[in-house]
Structure 1
Amino acid sequence: MSDKRLRVVLCWHMHQPEYRDPLTGEYLTPWTYLHAIKDYVDMAAHLEDAPEGVQAVINFPPVLLEQITSYARRVHDLLECERHPGDPLLAALALEPPVQPRETRRALLQRCLQAHQQTMIDRFPPYARLAALARRALETDTGPGYLTDIHLTDLVTWYHLAWLGETVRRRDPRVRTLMEKEQDYGMADRRLLVTIIGELLAGLLDRFSALVDAGRLELSTTPYTHPMLPLLIDFKAATEARPDTPLPQHPYPGGLERAQWQLQKARRSFSEHFGHEPTGCWPSEGGVSAATLQLIGQSGFRWTASGQGVLRHSLADADPDSGQLHRPYRLDEDGPVCFFRDDELADLIGFSYSHWHGDDAVADFVERLEGIAAEGDGGRVVAVILDGENPWEHYPDNGFHFVPALYRALLQSGELLLTTFSRCLDDTAVPVEHLPHLVAGSWVYGDFGTWVGDPDKNRAWDLLCDAKAVFDERYPHLHDAAHKALTLRQLAVCEGSDWFWWFGDYNPEEAVDEFDRIYRRHLATLYELLEAPCPPTLDTPISVGSGGPEMGGAMRRSHE
């Protein structure tokens, strides 16, 4: 007799775009290592601690994996060889503070205030006091000079202590000692904290590999630099769900070949980091089209996934029921199996449950799933796919109570079976349905409006198309193999979807400004590597933000 329990797949997507300047090697923002020591280590620990039978899927884009290994190597070299880490924030923690220009100190103060006020700053009174001083310093005539060096180093130290994973704070006695000291952190204290950070970074990917070996985890990947493949292939994909979408001036040159390259490079990079081939591909932001699914299958992936809105548009159904949504589909007979995200359940974890008591949130989630299980027969799969890093700063204690309780409750339910996408493919109780037609789209609203159509987003695409035309002309004439490889990778970095996500006046000013500068810097570097003149248009900002979106714009609900 087949197991009729409702299959439930929790898929956590981790991602940060390429923040390194390819010519100097300096990290332009610290988000990769900060999320690694807070969210990635906690998510590994929660699975390590979970009872036997708990399984999940975690997705890593290769561009993130490469940055994690880069940071681990840099921290090692810092501690062993006194080599500068190539990250201003990490250097401020690890090195004696030099006499810094006013604007450098200002930037450091601003960076150390970039944390959730309630859960990461106010929670720690010494940090809250320093943060208040920093804000006053930024508002006064004397500015950053208002704070002494010891104030500044204490602020940097507390910023990193607040960004540590909750499992680290609770289990590492060295961290407890540092927190109990509260102030006057000397070089020995700060070097100890850097040592802890280095250990976390160096051991992180091995922890996920061990979870795979233990049967608790499936790892999947994303196209190499997290590009929006359907748009690379053909901007007209955006008009399938929204026919009135304004498009960039010209098609992206050679987009199909670039999409193929992104997928093949992803497979190679993933294998280099984890020692095995990935079975599944979560396409960037769940962005799919018929052409994209075909490429994913041709690249050797057995499964992929997208959003509920894509299925809704494809079935021309205003509200797919459980019998439609909670099924795996295949568009073509030899194509990959495609799972579709349950938007409501994913958004509850991403946006709502952080405001609930953890036990109530878990009970509500399980009750909803058991309600789905009671609606019909077996063979259904509920895919809960969401951001695996950004939600937790909004939860008490970085989700320390919620996530483990969720795993335990799902395991204990007699109506539910925690599993992975790959296991579903081999599960004889899970039939794969035929999808006769696919309307291209993403997990956000089932369309591509988050990345194209807005005048600023289209202008960013136009700049990339212009750069690609120069690339096609000049790249074949580059002769040094290492230089060619660096140039090819730089093109891939410019193709990442994150830059287009942030353009638009509805996003916050600070984030738009930061990503705008990084994107234009990446494009300028591509021209430099191609030994071509940089167009003056790259000196002008693409977009200006003025909005105050939910969660700061780092996450978006799947529907309005």
Structure 2
Amino acid sequence: MTASHPKLYLNLYWHMHQPDYRDSISGEYVLPWTYLHAIKDYTDMAYHLESNPAARVSFNFVPVLLDQLEDYADQFNSGKIRDPLLALLLREDMKSLTLDERCLILESCFKGHHEKMLAPFEHYQCLYNMYTKLEPRGKSMLNYLSGQYMADLIVWYHLAWTGESVRRNSSEIQMLMNKGSQFTLEDRQVLFRVMADLIRGLIPRYRALEATGRIEISTTPHYHPILPLLLDFRSTRDAMPYAPLPRYPQYPGGRQRACAHVQEAQEFHQHRFGKASNGMWPAEGAVSQEALILLAQHGVKWAATGEGVLANSLYKSFDSSGLPPRHEYLYKPYRVGNEQDSIMCFFRDDQLSDKIGFEYANLHADSAVADFVHHLEQIYEQHPGEQPPIVSVILDGENAWEYYPYNGYYFLSQLYTALSTHEHITMTTPSDLVQRCLQPDSGLPIGELPAVAAGSWVYGSFSTWIGSSDKNKGWDLLCEAKQAYDRVVQQGALTEAELAAATRQLAICEGSDWFWWFGDYNSGLSVSSFDHLFRRNLSNLYHLLQLDPPHTLDQAISAGSASSTAANAGTMRRGQSAESST
């Protein structure tokens, strides 16, 4: 290889998202995942960039996640805690817990990957052993589990969900872990204060990282809707020609709603980070020609999606009987649209992205990093021509790490070091790449994509969100609620404040997450939680519209599987099927 050979550009892009877990009427949180991921994953991910100044990556923060982080910060500041589990951490007398509160602690505080998040901690494992011995007794077990047991359990749960960077650098957390048991109210207050400081500091930490040029921060349409489906259910059939669709031919007023999600995201991003977001990760990487042009019309310079979408789009654009080897078409961005409304689109390397999400947790950090770098070197060596390869590795930046030893601490530390010091690799960001690509004689590759085949980063289709009986039923219930919303708005019966509350609730219901969980590839317990929350959100929408919810919302939409064999408990999915990625 000659010294003049151009480098490989690595666009490493972490996506951060949690749906809105709040009950919009009571204001109470139904599930605790936002603050738990905040003290573990969002904290650790910032730390690794702070500790590796030569590394450059991008983060995508969905606005509804940031809404909740700010809400938690407000709760810590006011002392009025509206998350039931978090509030129990501060309960003065654990002996006086109600039956429901004791059940909440037991049902919540063993959730996590046992091998990586429970078994390494002797005292936590002991609490679990006691629970499993008593579990066959049903609720009568509570007669044997003292208030001290409940205090120790809720402390250990939160310690297990604390980031590895915090465990290594916080003397308060180290004190609690060394103590191990018999936690007092004062101990629990110490833990609470550490968590409060972590969550209050998160957005400022990421803002500071972007200000120093170490990261780029992008956004997503506000409540994480599948834009192409809001625009046209029939876009499903680009990748799934025979898929059954919802009973309603279109989502009512879908284009207006899609625009609202995009506009709100831009406004909130400007407010939080002091600058506009150049790009967007469309929710679930879901794109279509119409959706990408809509983003371009709203000033979005770049977007990203999955490798399968690119393959389908090349077939659609060029009517090809077959694609060339993937290294000949994958490693460059593509321009979509016309001179007036164009956008640059990046396509993830599914295989490399899925290796981080699903495979490297089972390897020693040294071996995992060596394998990742080896694959990049192969791409570099075999890339044709004088133009450098641009490799996009895009994946969930929060859910993978509980399956890694030490929350991925060694893997991420070594990965950033190896990548930032490699002689043939340049770590960069999408906006930098777009700026370079558009310069005359930049030497960077740009493809032209006349037609986009609608799809997502999962299998290049929308099969995770539409096309089965339960997912379609969810859409039908949402369409009915949207029609009710439109009727009430047209009547002008709501005050400005009431209309704003109902519109926000509608946006929550339009999020992608509810449809993700419907299906027998997810565990019954997880499906039940999200099924109930979706129907609760729809019911709340009717209440905010001053209407009675239909009785159909009393019936479960999806049952899920009796036993979850889904990788990573359903929180993540591969870009390709496991068979096609081997």
Task: Give the TM-score, by structure 1 length.
Answer: 0.97
State the shift of 1:430 in Å: 2.0
Q: 2:431 aligns with which of 417, 422, 437?
A: 422
State the shift of 1:378 in Å: 2.6
Q: 1:94 to 1:370 in 2, by over 3 A?
A: same
Contact (CA 8 Å) 1:241, 1:446: kept in 2 or not? Answer: yes
- How far apart are the structure 1 equivalents of 2:371 and 2:570? 26
Correspondence 1:347 to 2:361: no
Match of 1:539 in 2: 554
Contact (CA 8 Å) 1:22, 1:525: kept in 2 or not? Answer: yes
Match of 1:99 in 2: 96
Structure 1 segment 168-179 matched on structure 2, within 5 A: 168-179=166-177
Match of 2:363 in 1: 356
Match of 1:17 in 2: 19
Q: 1:239 to 1:176 in 2, by over 3 A?
A: same
Q: 1:554 to 1:319 in 2, by over 3 A?
A: farther
Contact (CA 8 Å) 2:379, 2:389: kept in 1 or not? Answer: no
Letter in 2 for 1:556: R
- How far apart are the structure 1 equivalents of 2:463 and 2:142? 40
Structure 1 segment 180-195 matched on structure 2, within 5 A: 180-195=178-193
Match of 1:28 in 2: 30
What's the secondary structure of 2:329's corresponding residue?
Answer: helix
- How far apart are the structure 1 equivalents of 2:210 and 2:33? 26
Contact (CA 8 Å) 1:345, 1:365: kept in 2 or not? Answer: yes
Match of 1:382 in 2: 391
State the shift of 1:480 in Å: 2.3
Letter in 2 for 1:25: G
Letter in 2 for 1:67: Q
Structure 1 segment 112-131 matched on structure 2, within 5 A: 112-131=109-128
Correspondence 1:71 to 2:89: no
Match of 1:7 in 2: 9
Correspondence 1:550 to 2:564: no
- How far apart are the structure 2 equivalents of 1:388 and 1:139? 37
Match of 1:270 in 2: 269
- How far apart are the structure 2 equivalents of 1:430 and 1:265? 33
Contact (CA 8 Å) 2:488, 2:494: kept in 1 or not? Answer: no
Match of 1:323 in 2: 328
What's the secondary structure of 1:198's corresponding residue?
Answer: helix
Bigger mean CA deviation after superposition, 543-552 or 457-466: 543-552
- How far apart are the structure 1 equivalents of 2:493 and 2:353? 47
1:418-455: per-residue Cα shift (whole Å, max 9, x none)? 00000001112323221122110000000000000111
- How far apart are the structure 2 equivalents of 1:372 and 1:278? 30
Q: 1:275 to 1:136 in 2, by over 3 A?
A: farther
Contact (CA 8 Å) 2:387, 2:445: kept in 1 or not? Answer: no
What's the secondary structure of 1:382's corresponding residue?
Answer: strand
State the shift of 1:489 in Å: 0.7
Stretches of structure 1 lacking an aligned partner (at least 5 in a row): none
Letter in 2 for 1:302: K
Q: 2:402 aligns with which of 379, 389, 393?
A: 393
Match of 1:196 in 2: 194
Contact (CA 8 Å) 1:330, 1:434: kept in 2 or not? Answer: yes
Match of 1:450 in 2: 464
Contact (CA 8 Å) 1:138, 1:144: kept in 2 or not? Answer: no
Match of 1:493 in 2: 508
Contact (CA 8 Å) 2:230, 2:258: kept in 1 or not? Answer: yes
State the shift of 1:320 in Å: 4.9
Percentage of matched positions with identical amino acids: 45
State the shift of 1:521 in Å: 0.4
- How far apart are the structure 2 equivalents of 1:541 and 1:139? 27
Contact (CA 8 Å) 2:227, 2:287: kept in 1 or not? Answer: yes
- How far apart are the structure 2 equivalents of 1:166 and 1:318? 44
State the shift of 1:537 in Å: 0.5
State the shift of 1:114 in Å: 0.3
Letter in 2 for 1:72: A
- How far apart are the structure 1 equivalents of 2:151 and 2:8? 52
Structure 1 segment 508-527 matched on structure 2, within 5 A: 508-527=523-542
1:500-543: per-residue Cα shift (whole Å, max 9, x none)? 00001221011000000100000000000001111000011111
Letter in 2 for 1:94: L
State the shift of 1:272 in Å: 1.6
Match of 1:238 in 2: 236
Q: 2:379 aligns with which of 372, 380, 384?
A: 372
- How far apart are the structure 2 equivalents of 1:319 and 1:510? 44
Aligned residues: 554
Correspondence 1:88 to 2:90: no
Letter in 1 for 2:308: G
Letter in 1 for 2:289: A
- How far apart are the structure 2 equivalents of 1:6 and 1:494? 41
State the shift of 1:51 in Å: 3.5
- How far apart are the structure 2 equivalents of 1:298 and 1:144? 59
Contact (CA 8 Å) 1:38, 1:163: kept in 2 or not? Answer: yes
State the shift of 1:98 in Å: 6.6
Task: Give the TM-score, by structure 2 length.
Answer: 0.93
Letter in 2 for 1:173: S
Letter in 2 for 1:16: Q
Q: 1:3 to 1:470 in 2, by over 3 A?
A: farther
Contact (CA 8 Å) 1:39, 1:389: kept in 2 or not? Answer: yes
State the shift of 1:3 in Å: 7.7
State the shift of 1:482 in Å: 2.0
- The alignment yields a C-alpha RMSD, in angstroms, of 1.4
